[in-house]
Amino acid sequence: MRSEPLRMLNKALHSQILVKLKDGHEYLGRLEKFDNCMNLILTDAEEALDGGATTVTKYGKILIRGNNILYIKTTL
């Protein structure tokens, strides 16, 4: 049985999400894939500030390790 966070990620697949890491960095991008350890692949990713209001750097595709994630916010 899947846990609630994994169900939320499955619903957010191919949608825009905001990921905040334990070190304070924030990344905004489209959730392409994830696994049971909550490792994420984001496409059209960018490093952001203030909850995604300001872009710092643009990336193409990035991998975020699940053990570094503080929280994930789905955006509309």
10-64: pLDDT as tens digits: 999 999 999 999 999 999 999 999 999 999 999 999 999 887 678 889 999 999 9
Amino acid at 41: I
pLDDT in tens, 52-66: 678 889 999 999 999
pLDDT at 2 over 80: no
pTM of the full structure: 0.87
Task: Give the pLDDT of residue 1.
Answer: 42
- Domains along the chain with CATH numbers: 4-74 (2.30.30.100)
Q: Tokens standing for 30?
A: 């489209």
Question: What residue spans of 1-76 are helical by DSSP H?
Answer: 4-12
Look up residue 12 and give its DSSP letter.
Answer: H
pLDDT at 5 over 90: no
